Amino acid sequence: MSLVNIISAIGNNSSIYPLIVRDCGIEVPTKIAMTYNQNKEDKRIAWLGARERFIDEYSVSAVWLGGIPLIDFAGKKIIKSVKKLGLNSDVNLKLISDEEKYKRRLKSGKKVDEICQGFEYNIKKFADKPEAKEAVKDLINVKNNKKLFESLMNAKFLASIAVPIALMGFVIPKLVFASTAKKMEKYKKEHPDSNVANLTFGGKDFDQFIRGREKMTTFQGALTSVITNFTTVQKMAVTDGGYAVGRIVTARKKNEAIDLAFKMSGMMFLNFVAPHWIEKAFNKITDVNLDPKMFVNKRFLASVKNNTLELPKSDNAKDLLDFIDNNPNALFTKLAGENDKVKLLKNGVRDPRAYVDIEELAKFKNSIEKFVKSAGENGVKFKTLKKAGQNADIIKFANKSLRLRSLTILANIGLSSFLLAYCLPKAQFLFREWFTGSKLEPGLIDSSEKNEND
């Protein structure tokens, strides 16, 4: 993989790659070191805390980053083989829900835009396209077994979040706590005269604390078509919420539960919200927001320089989708597919089973137009989008844009990682010391009898 592809991957905040870099490469090692340093007043607690953090963080990362894709993959295989009905989980249920919503609004007399994608709509639109024959067949199979398909999709979604939540929120912490308790029992036997009274690992109070919070883990509410078609990163965000609840429930002490609640809320914000905010801020400052791979795409750059790049005439949903469907070989269509704005079949035709986020597709089109305009302002005198001079050093301009975009991506990774790996633990330690009156791990000591008995 080239350097540009690597930067492109970690710059996509809708993928797992930035999470892998921040989580495994920066956040976890930093937190392990900071945990040891925070508890250095007592070397035993410092060692136990760092050991717990190492085992806990990396085992959770393995489940968090690998568990959801693995379960999703298994779920797709199971759905495809059920009763040989030809069901395919690539069919997005949002096509059905959006079309039903459109029909309800139309029936009620409310003003609605012309429908441009939907379940029945896509079946009719692609029925005469031989290239989409198998995809249309999948849509028809789902139509004939709608209730079964919805049940299977709900089950797949539930499994993809429930199993990781159970492992990360309940199983792993129990195993880590048991391992620490075993280490301390061994230490007590080897050092019978040592003072280890300040180290605690559960007991009656802990068991009562667990029983009092068991209801927190109950799943409620129906799974909608939107939820069942969450992306891997969206599922990771949901899983993180369940993981946070699990960690609070399995905490050994009340102080540890509060300490964890502070930490987990900060982690969720810094992992799933802050990077998007930072990216938007950088994009606004630099005015460069295309994927880095676009700036080394020779065909794209040549089309800009030679005025051969054709784009949809507007941001209207129908104009965008009609352009893609009527021009499967157009460069814009191929670029939209390569940048995950639309899903294309192997033959280049848009996949009728997939739902298109019109807002994201429109943003992509506008970003290309902005690049074309900027190129003109930096060398080419564009009279209109389709008429331009031939004297622009497009490669030079693209390289400049690539460096700027790469810099903002790396700066985003660096800043979000700094906030996550350094600032959040520091804030957590300050909160812990203020709330418990001690710098030490609240799960390993009785730091405040007053707070524990409140």
333-368 confidence digits (pLDDT tens): 999 999 999 999 988 899 999 999 999 999 999 999
Helices (H), 198-348: 204-211, 225-228, 232-249, 254-272, 274-286, 298-305, 317-326, 331-338
Which of the residue ranges 114-118, 161-165, 211-215, 412-416 has the most confident prediction, judged by mean pLDDT? 412-416
- Pick from 86, 80, 76, 113: nearest CA to 98: 113
Distance CA 355, CA 353 (A): 7
Mean pLDDT, to the nearest integer, of 130-135? 90
Q: Which of these, 430, 425, 416, lies nearest to 23 by C-alpha position?
A: 416
**Mean pLDDT in the chain?**
77
Q: Would you give the distance in Å from CA 391 to the centre of its chain?
A: 42
- pTM for this one? 0.70
- Judged against a pLDDT cut of 70, whether residue 381 lies above it is answered with no
- Least Cα distance to 45 among 371, 443, 424 occurs for 443
pLDDT at residue number 220: 35
The tokens describing 322, both together, are 């009609």
Burial class (CB in 10 A: 0-12, 13-18, 19+), 347: exposed
Over 80: is that where the pLDDT of 427 sits? yes
How would residue 321 be classed by pLDDT, with cut points 50, 70 and 90? very high
The predicted structure's pLDDT at residue 150: 83
Give residue 86's identity as a one-letter amino acid code.
Answer: G
DSSP string, 168-197: IIIIHHHHHHHHHHHHHHHHHHH-TTS--T
Query: Do 403 and 370 touch, CB atoms closer than 8 A?
Result: no
Q: What percent of the chain lies above the pLDDT cut of 90?
A: 19
Which of 168-172, 243-247, 261-265, 339-343 shows the highest mean pLDDT? 339-343
Burial class (CB in 10 A: 0-12, 13-18, 19+), 297: buried
DSSP structure class, residue 339: T
387: β partners: 384
| Per-residue pLDDT, 32 | 81
Q: Contact, 232 vs 69, CB < 8 A?
A: yes
Task: Please give the Cα distance from 41 to 269 (Å, whole number).
Answer: 31
279-317 pLDDT tens trace:
889 888 888 889 999 999 999 998 888 888 899 999 999
* Number of CB atoms found within 10 A of residue 221's CB: 6
